[in-house]
Amino acid sequence: MNVIDVARAWRDQDPDDETRAELDHLIADAEADSTQALNELHDRFDTRLEFGTAGLRGRTEAGSNRMNRVLVAQAAAGFAAFLLSRTSLNGAPSVVIGYDGRKNSRVFAVDTAELMAGAGVRAVLLPRLLPTPVLAFAVRELKLSAGVMVTASHNPAKDNGYKVYLGDADEGSQIVPPLDHEIAAHILAVATNQSVLQLRRSMDYEIAGEHVIDEYVRRTAALATHPKSALRYVYTAMHGVGWETAHRVFVEAGFGEPTVVALQIEPDAAFPTVAFPNPEEPGALDLAFDTAITADAELVIANDPDADRLAIGIPDVDGDWHRLSGNQVGALLGWRAAERLAAAGTPGTLAASIVSSPALAEVARHYGLAYVDTLTGFKWVSRVPGLSYGYEEALGYLVDPAKVRDKDGISAAVEFLGLVADLKAAGRTVTDHLADFAGRFGAFASAQISIRVTDLSEIPRLMDTLRQSPPERIGAAAVRRIDDFAEGFGGLPASDILRLWLEDGSRVIVRPSGTEPKIKVYIDASSVEGTPARRQAVAQATVDRLEAGMRAIFA
């Protein structure tokens, strides 16, 4: 079957007027010998969006390589078949479904609820658009078999996605291999053997009660124990769905009303004020910093669009503002968690992904706590046995594993607000606390490089080149050892990761991104020489040299 016939067959089962019209135009142009239209059809239909541990994520358009109602229906029916093939601890399989404010998120969620119910799976739909952490919480709170969150998190505005969680023994964590392959096989069977128009739908699904959200708010607010100081702080939802829930939590926790970034506070699928709705991106927090200067604030709190990530902004001594790195926030929250465990005399485990700073491991060593490195992704961090606190450098923090088994930007915000309130009561600032960290544990510096590609085949080629011809030096520093995770390493599952250790103890990690068309390079160095300021300067200088060296390698 040629690509035009494939596109026509897809169109004929598509329940969405907009994407059917897209295909009508492309098919007509391709039949009129438009090379551009034919190439577009090949791009949309020569492959499928791959279902993996992060679920599905892609541009919202027609085609098997895009996010649309046909693909979501196939995913929902396949996931339902997977759930029906498993034994649930609570009888018949069940699923809770949440959605954010992106284009078609509610449509995809309702489709999923109808198809799950039609397949015989108890389906519960969250009552409105809500943050991802609320969905992750609901899987455990409602004691259900699974969860689905329709979100593309911090991806570009035209993307959407489909994240999957498992309950029962998985305790509300995201899926890990080989379960992703099992689910993908069920989805492919649906896509191969049935039109989505033949799938049974049912309106017999439930709407979750407000008590689920109320309990999330109550338990999250309880993380703060009577803040010691009032704070002037700014909050931005980055055009996402965090504000309603975060606002309730902040007020109930005793932090009062934040000053909001008015242009970014309500959900807006167009994300009009940011090029990428990701607080890590340059310029993404500019409006928040402008608001903070006007409001004479002490702190900026930013969630990404589905509120599972947290960014922190603080003022410099000269009045300018900057964002703390994910590693800085992760280390400070880890220090707070370790102090709490030490004060209670309670054993615990700290964990971070291997691309995160070694700083947390040093905190764990200092306090006599267990520490675990995981592969990248919270699906791994959240599954660490006995976990007390975990983070990954990409602004993801898990501060309350008893409540949510995923990164949670609202819970982490409460913890950081509590930290700043405690520091203020003691006459200290976040900047002071970072210096204290360097004095106690050593200074840690990090950098990250993203090598974007337009052709996805470039990623394996670049990784193979590094494996076949690894650098002997990065800048002036000799490479001492290379750890290749392709076949598994250090007890971790196989993964496309290279870790290069330098002669001075610094390291460079290279891996493909799991959600975007790019290779990511992570650089870390540390120092215990001299004063805290001297330590930081030495570590940062090492990172700067390694960054220049890696940019030269990929030039």
Does 3.40.50.2300 match the CATH number of domain 52-208?
no
Count Cβ neighbours within 10 Å for each residue of 50-78 and write b for 16 or more, e otherwise.
Answer: ebbbbbbbbbbbbbbbbbbbbbbbbbbbb
Contact between residue 387 and residue 398 where contact means Cβ atoms under 8 Å apart: yes
Q: What is the pLDDT of residues 216-239, one digit of tens each?
A: 999 999 999 788 899 999 999 999
pLDDT at 91 over 80: no
pLDDT at 79 over 80: yes
Q: What DSSP string describes 203-218? A: S--EE--HHHHHHHHH
Contact between residue 406 and residue 136 where contact means Cβ atoms under 8 Å apart: yes
Fold match flag (52-208 vs 209-441): yes
Element (H, E) at 260: strand 259-260
For domain 209-441, give the CATH number. Answer: 3.40.120.10
Q: What is the pLDDT of residues 234-292, one digit of tens each?
A: 999 999 999 999 999 999 999 999 999 999 999 999 999 999 999 999 999 999 999 99
Q: Fill in the amino acid letter for 124.
A: V
Quote the pLDDT of residue 89: 67
Q: How far apart are the first and last CA of the chain?
A: 41
What is the average pLDDT across 123-140? 98
Any idea where the domains of the chain sit in the sequence? 1-46, 52-208, 209-441, 442-554
What is the average pLDDT across 60-67? 98
- Residues taking part in catalysis: 153
Contact between residue 279 and residue 395 where contact means Cβ atoms under 8 Å apart: yes
What pTM, to 2 d.p., does this model score?
Answer: 0.95
Separation CA 331–CA 437 (nearest Å): 9
Classify strands 299-303 and 310-315 as parallel, antiparallel or unpaired: antiparallel
Return the closest-CA partner of residue 351 out of 523, 492, 172, 153: 492
**Fold assignment, 442-554:** TATA-Binding Protein (3.30.310)
